Amino acid sequence: MTEETNIPAETGAAAEGATRSGFVALIGATNAGKSTLVNRLVGAKVSIVSHKVQTTRAIVRGIAIHNNAQIVFMDTPGIFKPRRRLDRAMVTTAWGGAKDADFIMFLIDSERGLKGDAETILEGLKDVHQPKILVLNKVDRVKPEDLLKLTAAVNEVVKFERTFMISALNGSGCEDVMDYLAAALPEGPWYYPEDQISDLPMRQLAAEITREKLFLRLHQELPYSSHVETEKWEERKDGSVRIEQVIYVERDSQKKIALGKNGDAIKAISTASRKELSEILEQPVHLFLFVKVRENWGDDPARFREMGLDFPTS
């Protein structure tokens, strides 16, 4: 279900055989469903998904081909009121990604509407001059009349080129988003090879998958002061790969949580991560996880670089 507006003449259908390409930044409040939507639009898992807010820390680019266009989706960290140095880096990265894109896609959780961070983001979009589309997610849970009221309220503050009403979880309305972007992006050559779905190095993607399983397993037990790094990647003669990763936490008490009673937690995390990595790599994976204490890693510039974030100096 979409609200119809006309595509500007300069972004109409491309000439026969012409290609289009561009970057589309997804911004929104934490847990609006950005990572789920990126994975849906790309057709493969490129961004980790968790019920825990602020899961995405750096910009993850997912690459999709639709009709004659290559659409590079930039899954940005959720925008929220920052409290820590890591928070500030994430929010700065999100706004930076938005301002570097050809199109902005503002995603709102329809159930929550313009509460809290979503309203703050909308105000911030007044200063962003790229073309913007509004995407209302989880519309299957909201009455149609309430969706129309929300659409009107948002467009009174910032004028969007078009409004889409979707469900990232089941895919409803997502094809309309792809059709629009494929026609609206500027003409030009593709940025990436046709078979590439992400610009994230495999070592980093593997670390992100393990971090997702860590969050899914431990929920609220383990705070955000945890980080996963892939320290060793060895392709073996038998066609398998040996991967060694370290989960860094800030205190011994957090290490005990990550390990679990009799090592149950770390075993479950390893099993789940290894299974998904084997499916993605299409080869057997031998995954070894270690938990180490690194005090105040959240103030270490090297860790920010590892995550693809700029280190805030203040």
Q: What is the 3-state secondary structure (H, E, C) of the chain?
A: CEECCCCCHHHCCCCCCCCEEEEEEEEECCCCCHHHHHHHHHCCCCCCCCCCCCCCCCCEEEEEEECCEEEEEEECCCCCCCCCHHHHHHHHHHHHHHHHCCEEEEEEECCCCCCCHHHHHHHHHHHCCCCEEEEEECHHHCCHHHHHHHHHHHHHHCCCCEEEECCCCCCCCHHHHHHHHHHHCCECCCCCCCCCCECCCHHHHHHHHHHHHHHHHHCCCCCCCEEEEEEEEEECCCCCEEEEEEEEECCHHHHHHHHCHHHHHHHHHHHHHHHHHHHHHCCCEEEEEEEEECCCHHHCHHHHHHCCCCCCCC
Residue 80 has what pLDDT? 43
Residue 236 has pLDDT above 80, yes or no: yes
Bigger pLDDT: 142 vs 78: 142
Tens of pLDDT, residues 98-140? 667 899 999 999 999 988 788 888 988 888 888 999 999 999 9
Q: What is the pLDDT of residue 29?
A: 82
| Of the listed ranges 138-142, 246-250, 267-271, 285-289, the one predicted with least confidence | 246-250
Percent of the chain clearing pLDDT 70 (strictly above): 75
Q: Per residue in 255-266, pLDDT tens?
A: 999 999 999 999
Q: Is the model more confident about 303 or about 211?
A: 211
Q: pLDDT confidence of 12, banded at 50, 70, 90? A: very low
pLDDT band at 298 (very low <50, low <70, confident <90, very high): low
Tell me the mean pLDDT in the region 278-290.
Answer: 92
Compute the average pLDDT of residues 170-191. 96
